[in-house]
A and B are shown apart, each in its own frame.
Chain A
Amino acid sequence: MSETALSVAPAATPAKSSRLNARFYDTFLPRLVVGVFILTLWEVVVRLLAPAYVAKPSTVAMAIPKVIVDPAFLKATGVTLAAVAEGLAVALVLGTVIGLVMGRSAALERAIRHYVNGFYAIPMIVVLPLFSLWFGYSGATRIATIIFAAVFSIIINVADGARAVPRDYLEVARSFRSNRINVLFGIVLPSSMPYLLAGIRLAAGRALIGAVVAEFFISVGGLGYFILYNSRTYHHNEAFVGVLLLAAFGVGFEMLVAWVTRRFLPWYRRDEKAG
């Protein structure tokens, strides 16, 4: 594509602008139309059918500038994000170590595989009553829930990655008499990086859900509690700003992981579809 553009340099500008035009009509316009349609439908339905306190696009938009400078909101966001980051960090270290060992040791894999899969399959929120019994109605329960929500998807993915390390790499390492720890962290870990990233992507989403659910359940301060409290006191517009922020975190993290994969692991193409 670029080579043909170079060879017909004088014609490049109109060609480029028509390509941009095509892109506009092809993707941007339908997206804009659908977006406007969704917002209009929402606005009209709420205006006609719902009580005045129910969130609708116009009032949510008006609430945004007020909410994002509200110290209570900023504090709640900070607290929740810090908890998610802390829980994710613990889950990441724990999950990577367990996953690497599990992926490279057949005995350990047989011993704990069913437990890892089993705990992963448990809907994470059922442990909340138990955790609140154990850790009390405090931030500790939230951290524990986040770790529980996040760690198993990291273990499973890292173990898959460790199992998929090309045999040649390991044989070369062995013939150079590399020790086990070096092999694990020098070869197996870098080689299973894409899997680790896929695990983190899953884990981050689950951690966010875990944090919000824990705040709902034990009423400890944070973004989830901000949403709960404001919706209970009929401040739906303010509460919905919190939901928008959560959605932004969810999408933002997906994009961040996708970007990291493209930028630092360009040799890895599993996610990309042909055509």
Chain B
Amino acid sequence: MPYTYLRRHAPFWISILVGILLWEIAGRSTSTAFMVPFSETIRTLWHLIKSGEFIRQLMESAKLFLSGFVLALIVGMPLGMLLARVRVLRVGIEPYVMILYATPMVALIPFILSLMGFGFAPKVLVVFLFAVFPVLYNTVEGARSIKPEMIEVAKSFRSSEWSLWREVMVPYTLPYTMTGVRQSIGRALVGMIAAEFFLSSTGLGQLIMTASQNFDTGGVFASIFVIGLIGVGLMRLGLKIEQHFAHWRQ
């Protein structure tokens, strides 16, 4: 058992170790204003954690991320399902959803700033705008994949509206919605950092900004490292969710 574990995971750990080693060497052989070695990054991170600063900022960011993301799900999923059921609505709204899905939402941040100022609400709006369209777009896409015959058959067996939703609409669109949810997680994270950079500075975004304004390269590296880990973790979570529902589709 440990042998097979080792064989399967050895390449992963070797590549991680080599990466850390390269980072360390590169960091030590260049100026500290340019790059900071791995050991220094971890030390800075440890100081940030011990002072309580890091946890406080992390919580601040988590609050923003979850508010915007959950709001996007609450709006995106039912709206997407409704569009799935009411064909004329779907046909009408589809191109606009597609346009907004392809629009870089960051461009709206200056408008949000000058209209809503520096509170918590405008930042939630930014995360929401980043996150909602992938959910909506993919749910509508899923709705298009339902064959009309399915609904006709359900209807000719006198299925009620409720059971039509429960047996046909939801099971068929949910796997697509979950693809949207995965994309939304990544976009909401970008939205969160963008909001923290360009609106009022809080959370992990503020951590990076402060470090970079003080030319504290160690602090910049430590924050980017942590946000990178969070990004990878959330991406994995998203893939897990998507695969779970993709499996359930079959």
A→B interface (CB under 8 Å): 26-27, 30-31, 33-35, 38, 50, 54-55, 110-115, 117-130, 132-134, 205, 208-209, 212-213, 216-217, 224, 227-228, 231-232, 234, 236, 239-240, 242-243, 246-247, 250-251, 253-254, 273-275
Contact = CB atoms under 8 A, between A and B. Distances in A.
Interface in B61-107: 88-89, 91-96, 98-100, 102-104, 106-107
Interface footprint category on B: 35 or more
Contacts of A212: 104, 106-107
Interface string B2-34: 000000000110011011000000000000011
B95 A31 contact: yes
Contact of A121 (B102, B111, B215, B234): B234
Q: Decide if the interface of chain B is mainly helix, strand, loop or mixed.
A: helix
Nearest to B234: A121
A231 B115 CA distance: 10
B25 to A, nearest CB: 16
B16 A114 contact: yes
Ranked 9 nearest A-B pairs via Cβ: A30-B92, A129-B212, A250-B102, A34-B92, A231-B110, A121-B231, A110-B11, A247-B103, A121-B235
Interface stretch (B45-53, B117-125, B156-164, B222-230): B222-230
A224 B104 CA distance: 11
Contact of A130 (B99, B186, B224): B224
Contact of A38 (B16, B18, B96, B198): B96
9 contacts: A26-B91, A30-B88, A38-B96, A50-B115, A232-B110, A273-B141, A273-B144, A275-B147, A275-B148
Contacts of A205: 102, 104
A35 B110 CA distance: 25
Contacts of B179: none
B197 interface: yes
Interface of B: 11-12, 15-16, 18-19, 33-34, 88-89, 91-96, 98-100, 102-104, 106-111, 113-115, 141, 144-145, 147-148, 186, 189-190, 192-194, 197-198, 208-209, 211-212, 215, 217, 220-221, 223-224, 227-228, 231-232, 234-235
B114 A231 contact: yes
B220 A34 contact: no
Contacts of B115: 50, 54
A34 B96 contact: yes
Contacts of A132: 212
Given A38-B96, A209-B106, A133 B111 contact: no
A247 B103 CA distance: 4
